[in-house]
Amino acid sequence: MTGKHLYKKTSQLMMVSLIGLFFTLQASASNMPTDRHSLLVEFLRLTDKKPQWQDPQRLRSLEFGVKNLLNDGLEPSNYQLKRIQQLINQFDDQIPEISAAEDAVISGAYLEAIADLMLGRTRNSNVERYLNYQNQQPNAFAAIVQLAVTYLDEPSVAFDKARPQVQEYQSLRTAHQRILEQIQASPSLPLITPDRPSLRLGVIDPRVTLLRRHLGVEIPEIDSDVYDQDLMEAVRQFQSQQGLEADGIAGPQTFAHINRTPEQDLVAIRVNLERWRRVNLALTDSRVIANIAGATIHYYQDNQLEFYSRTQVGRRDRPTPLMISEISHFTLNPTWTIPPTIYRNDKLPAIQNDPSYIQSNRLTVLDTQGNRLDPDLIDWDNPGSILLRQSSGPHNALGQVVIRFPNRQSIYLHDTPNQRLFDRNQRYFSSGCIRVEDATLLVNKLLEATHSAQASQFDSLLSSGSTRNINIGQPVTIVLGYWTVNATPAGDIQVFTDIYGLDSAMLSALNG
């Protein structure tokens, strides 16, 4: 072997060795996935292992894109920002010497940023594992590399295309930028003392002036500490935006939301941006998104919002499982076979306390083979293996319709006779399944949009009172997800209760 070929072979081996060492150290330091190595190997193959970062314009575009990752809730320093900036500064004086290994390291950071935007930085963690569906996306890594190669001259454009395009993500990103600018422009306001009497119309209190400042309400020259009509309306509007009871009275719960610091909001936004990235590739153009933390539901048809409503979701001790599935069919005028947990914890004690409970709630007692039993002949202190089934009708706990989709936990969406509970601010009442306000309207829209054979018969089938299953025209993606912050396109945020306490684990994984 000639000296020239030996030198070339040695250089290649050194580059591979250095790249391997870099990714080993990175994975060890940040507990991040090792898929970055596979991405880089494929990238180098497609670019014939040629240097890619000798062009200052290309580097400046990469620098711009990496710096803007801050508004995605990602830390730019994780993507070789310092070294990129050093190389750019060297270009101002002379053409710098960039080794093959260093060039590959920058390429690795470029690929990693695209992957983190498209799939989520915590994608290989065990946090909120339902989001790990991207393992079902065999072409995801190939798409990342292809995107990186296609936009090598404009890396910041590659980042834009890798980001989730859904409005929820874009709005949260706008909110992150707005809050950062707010922090830089002015210090946070003092907190309002919450443990004193609530503020209401006509009250005179020194906290009123500070409340005006928090809400951006004009402070009058006289009587600035009087809780007047203008301030009450501003409080009512704030409460409505935050999903609180909009009564215009500033009490502990309202103060808790007002006293949130911008820094707290940034942390919450970071966590929820990551959730949208993790679920990104599952978001088909037509989809149903049930936000468990916010107790809301949205249905998009061809990326246009077709339906929005409130929901009632699982309480803290009986949480609604998080999942991604596809709506397959509906049950009209359903009966309800009471699940074992509800039977054991709720229904059996109610029957033991009041034997007439069975008749008043139109329950039928069955053995495990489905044979009807006489409730008067059962020892309710030791009932044995039995089932309770509620007949269909307006009294039925599932209401008029059930929306079904495959899952191991037997979870579904359904109507409910308890409509008054939708007016509550905190709607965590169920034992796991999701009660949907205007559920019949949602089913009707899904049948029509998917061209179901029974779409035109929906009203007559529903009014018949007969229990019946009907198929959706084509499956529609459904996500039972968990987002504790929502944002408007203008960047105003709405914070929901972290009812299941999931934010801290996601934040730890994101920072890890």
Tens digits of residue pLDDT in 125-171 = 889 988 876 545 568 888 999 999 999 999 999 999 999 999 999 99
Quick check: 434 and 288 in contact, CB under 8 A?
A: no
The H or E element spanning position 429 is strand 428-430
Q: Which residues contact 232 (CB under 8 A, 6 or more apart)?
A: 200, 201, 248
For residue 117, being part of any structural domain is answered with yes
Choice among 134-138, 228-232, 507-511 with the minimum mean pLDDT: 134-138
So what's the pLDDT on residue 286?
96
The structure tokens listed for 511 are 């920072």
Q: Which of 165, 193, 226 corresponds to the end of one domain? A: 165
For residue 367, being part of any structural domain is answered with yes
Measured CA to CA, the distance from residue 57 to residue 85 in angstroms comes to 12
The strand ranges marked E within 241-380 are 287-291, 296-301, 304-314, 323-332, 336-337, 363-367, 372-373
For residue 35, being part of any structural domain is answered with yes
Same domain? For 234 and 143 the reply is no
Same domain? For 96 and 212 the reply is no
Same domain? For 156 and 216 the reply is no
The percent of residues above 70 in pLDDT, for the chain, comes to: 92
Domain residues for the domain of 25 are: 3-165
Same domain? For 30 and 161 the reply is yes
Same domain? For 127 and 16 the reply is yes
Active site residues: 414, 433
Q: Which of 260, 279, 301 corresponds to the end of one domain? A: 260
For residue 294, being part of any structural domain is answered with no
Same domain? For 124 and 225 the reply is no
pTM for the model stands at 0.85
Query: Average per-residue pLDDT in the chain?
Result: 88
For residue 254, being part of any structural domain is answered with yes
Same domain? For 14 and 158 the reply is yes
Kindly state the average pLDDT of the residues 219-248: 88
Same domain? For 222 and 90 the reply is no
Measured CA to CA, the distance from residue 78 to residue 369 in angstroms comes to 60
Quick check: 439 and 396 in contact, CB under 8 A?
A: no
Is the confidence at residue 30, as pLDDT, over 60? Answer: no
pLDDT bracket for residue 23 (50, 70, 90): very low
Same domain? For 224 and 160 the reply is no
Measured CA to CA, the distance from residue 161 to residue 111 in angstroms comes to 13
User: Over the Cα atoms of the chain, what is R_g?
Assistant: 29
Integer CA distances (angstroms), 62 to 59, 84, 440, in order: 5, 8, 50
> 53 vs 37, which has greater pLDDT?
53
For every residue of 194-242, DSSP letters joined together read -SSPPB-TT-B-THHHHHHHHHT----SS-TTB--HHHHHHHHHHHHHT
> 143 vs 31, which has greater pLDDT?
143
So what's the pLDDT on residue 129?
86
Kindly state the average pLDDT of the residues 302-313: 96
Q: Which residues contact 486 (CB under 8 A, 6 or more apart)?
A: 168, 171, 172, 291, 294, 493, 494, 496
- Number of domains comprising the chain: 3
pLDDT, one tens digit per residue, over 168-188 is 999 999 999 999 998 888 888
Q: Which of 241, 260, 279 corresponds to the end of one domain? A: 260
Same domain? For 93 and 17 the reply is yes
pLDDT, one tens digit per residue, over 496-507 is 999 999 999 999
For residue 284, being part of any structural domain is answered with no
Write the single-letter amino acid at 475. Answer: P
pLDDT, one tens digit per residue, over 435-479 is 999 999 999 999 999 999 999 999 999 999 999 999 999 999 999
Same domain? For 41 and 97 the reply is yes
Same domain? For 150 and 216 the reply is no
For residue 421, being part of any structural domain is answered with no
pLDDT bracket for residue 32 (50, 70, 90): very low
Q: Is 200 left (phi over 0), alpha (psi -120 to 50) or beta?
A: beta
Quick check: 187 and 261 in contact, CB under 8 A?
A: no
Is the confidence at residue 98, as pLDDT, over 90? Answer: no
For residue 268, being part of any structural domain is answered with no
Kindly state the average pLDDT of the residues 378-392: 90
So what's the pLDDT on residue 134?
54
